[in-house]
Amino acid sequence: MKKIYLDNAATTAVHPEVIKAILPYFTQKFGNASEPHQWGQEAKMAIEESRRIIANFLGAKPEEIIFTSCATESINLCHKGFVEAVRSQKGVTPHIITTLIEHKAVLETCKHLEKLGVAEVTYLPVDKYGLVKIEDLKKAIKPDTILVSVMYVNNEVGTIEPIREIGQLIKRVNQSLITNHQPPIYFHTDATQAIQYLDCDVDKLGVDFLSFTGHKFYAPKGIGGLYVRKGTPLVRQQDGGGQEKELRSGTENVPYIVGIAKVLQLTINKPASRDSFGMQQLTTKRITRLRDKLIKGVLEKIPETILTGHPTIRSPHIASFCFNGAEGEAILLRLDAEGIAASSGSACTSGSLEPSHVLLAMGIPAEVAHGSIRFSLGRETTEEEIDYVLEKLPKIIKEIREMAPKL
């Protein structure tokens, strides 16, 4: 039986060059970076070189990169640490603006802050494609707004949000606020699904925080990062030995830090022209072509199918659909029996029987959202694999629909 992995938005295989780079830090260069001896200093040098590589990729300064265990931790540090810092400085209840389609790491963190009564949160709606409207954001800004948090690429449907335009809006608003001696608004984006495909230069985007995790782009699980613009107030959420500029205590995961930097170094070193979205054309052209072939084939071969997300303003690697009259969980099981890995919604919520919060926010009825499937392509996806999916999927949907009880 064939084995076809189309769940790269959930996690990716570690790049062979990354494995080669990290192995010495398990057995030969294994020192604790907090120690002054040569083993410790060798580890410290590896961390700082990795920090420099990632900063270079993001157009940032090395001291603005904080290593964490994953994007979820980065988001918790950003939102909770920033709110705590602002409250202690100003003695006000901060206002956060985010969207209804964010990753659960953002939504649950915001709900937690609301429950504690330390922040007020506005959740912006989106249109039928999952796009945030700049006008809605502009109207939501209040005198006590301190943070805007909008993801770069939606992890379920692949829609690319207008991050640069949001950054430009916040910059204009801040110019007025500073003139009136009022505190500025800060801007966070979750770049987890964007970092390997889109331009993540923090100055071009206009962001003050940018979170990411390695296992979505061929680094190991268990390593992530948070960009924090210099001068941005932030209080640590993990106490201990004061590592990571005293913002994230704990012995550093040196092998994985080296690994995440290696992936981004490989990306930097590949010559690539960029299109209007900042996509790295040479590294994504093939994946985009295969994604488009999959979308075209599914829509042509399977009636009563909805493509979710924006038809053109979308990340190269995600193709997501709703199949009327077919349950997503049943589709996944049948695909798996044919050797095909896909997902129903995001990896963090695929075990839930609730319909996707993203699809509901896009106006898709709950009964239709239950039939959602996400295919996410990667560097090893082939045309033959897409052909195989297009051969098997129509039969699977047809049989499931035929077995469904008639109302």
Q: Give catalytic residues, as residue numbers.
A: 348
Residues in the chain: 407
Specify the amino acid at residue 338. E
Q: How far does Cα 220 stand from its chain's mean position?
A: 15
Q: Say what the alpha-carbon torsion angle 39, 44, 45, 46 is, to the nearest 10 degrees.
A: 90
Contact of 208 with 4, CB cutoff 8 Å: no
CA distance 179 to 175: 6
Burial of 38 (0-12, 13-18, 19+ CB in 10 A): exposed
CA distance 134 to 142: 15
**Measured between alpha carbons, how far is residue 261 from residues 28, 224, 258, 343, 405 in Å?**
19, 10, 5, 28, 52
Q: How far does Cα 186 stand from its chain's mean position?
A: 19
Q: Which letter, b or e, does each residue of 140-158 get, where b requires 16 or more Cβ atoms within 10 Å of its Cβ?
A: ebeebbbbbbbbbbbbbbb
- Cross-strand bridge partners of residue 274: 280
From the CA atom positions of the chain, what is the Rg in Å? 22
CA distance 385 to 271: 27
